[in-house]
A and B are shown apart, each in its own frame.
Chain A
Amino acid sequence: MTAFLFLFFVVLTIASAAVVLISRNVLYSAFSLMVTFLGIAALYVFAGADFLAVTQIMVYVGGILVLLVFGVMLTRNKADRGTGQANVIRTEHSRTFWGILTAGGIFAILSTILAKARFDTVERNHFELIERKTTIQELGIGLLTDYALPFEVAGILLMVALLGAAYLSGKAKNFGTKE
């Protein structure tokens, strides 16, 4: 049953990621990206990372995807506005051959290496799975002891990104616009 559910979520993730690649409508890409993020959150649960799954849903689906859809909304060009349909935001494909070749090559290399690495025997003989009920307590203690400095730096980084984004996207009259 667990294996079946796992396979279901893997297929869901991969199929919706493929839709992101294949679809020519930016909005369809954005919404199938949402399904991909949710599928990855489910895979995190299977890997025993419950807190990260919730973080994934809150940050990616609740934050980044909304930002992306806002970006799609604010950058419609004239040709798409002329169609009269609100959900038509087209994107062209170019260099399809080279894109598929590079991605296929990377996937071939990675899967060959993974097949040669024999993780199953390594897993069986050298590592022991650690059974945990939840990771939240360990993550919380770690963030305030061993990882306190990166935690604070991440906070500063987020504040700098917020200020920078507000400055960049603000309406400065003599900055970055054609006169």
Chain B
Amino acid sequence: MQIPLSYFLLTAAFLFSIGLAVVIVKRNAIVVLMGIELMLNAANLNLVAFSRFDTDLTGQFFSLFVIIVAAAEIVVALAIVLKVFQHFQTVQLDEVSELKD
């Protein structure tokens, strides 16, 4: 039995919304990065769900490259977060406001 496409799309929409809420609500920089990963995963789920109807698997190739870019992004972002922690002694985003005043 085949799963209808809209179930995948609804799940992906819900995951994307949760990721967005995590990015907005949380104050710890690392948890914000987790929210970004959730949103990227939701987008990937859409691509993969549509690639069931595709003869040459373009969606799956695209989501492979999305995974690669997400890995590169998280590595650089964590290095920056570590540097911010060495400088400010905190990773709470609202307290990193040196440029504001």
Contacts and interface: CB of A to CB of B under 8 A. Distances in A.
Does B associate with A? yes
Interface of A: 2-3, 6, 10, 13-14, 17-18, 20-21, 26, 29-30, 33, 36-37, 40, 43-44, 46-49, 51-52, 55-56, 59-60, 63-64, 67-68, 70-72, 74-75, 77-78, 91-96, 98-100, 102-104, 106-107, 110-111, 114, 119-120, 123, 127-130, 135, 138-139, 142-143, 146-147, 150, 154, 157-158, 160-162, 164-166, 168-169, 176-178
Given A10-B7, A139-B57, A177-B87, A168 B76 contact: yes
- Size class of the contact patch on chain B: 35 or more
Interface string B25-42: 111111101110110010
Contact of B61 (A2, A72, A139, A162): A139
A20 B18 contact: yes
B86 interface: yes
Contact of A21 (B9, B22, B60): B22
Given A94-B27, A129-B52, A99 B21 contact: yes
A44 B48 contact: yes
Nearest to A120: B4
Nearest to A17: B18
Nearest to B70: A64
A154 to B, nearest CB: 5
A37 B41 contact: yes
B3 A142 contact: no
Contacts of A168: 76, 79-80, 82-83
- Name B's interface SS: helix
- Name A's interface SS: helix
Contacts of B4: 119-120, 123
Contacts of A158: 68, 71-72
B67 A33 contact: no
Contacts of A33: 34, 37-38
B20 A102 contact: yes
A107 B17 CA distance: 6
B14 A107 contact: yes
Given A165-B78, A165-B79, A91 B57 contact: no
A21 B54 CA distance: 34
A49 B48 contact: yes
Contact of A18 (B7, B18, B29, B78): B18
Contacts of B15: 13-14, 17, 36, 40
Given A74-B85, A130-B55, 7 more contacts: A20-B22, A20-B34, A21-B22, A71-B33, A75-B29, A106-B16, A165-B75
Given A36-B38, A75-B30, A154 B21 contact: no
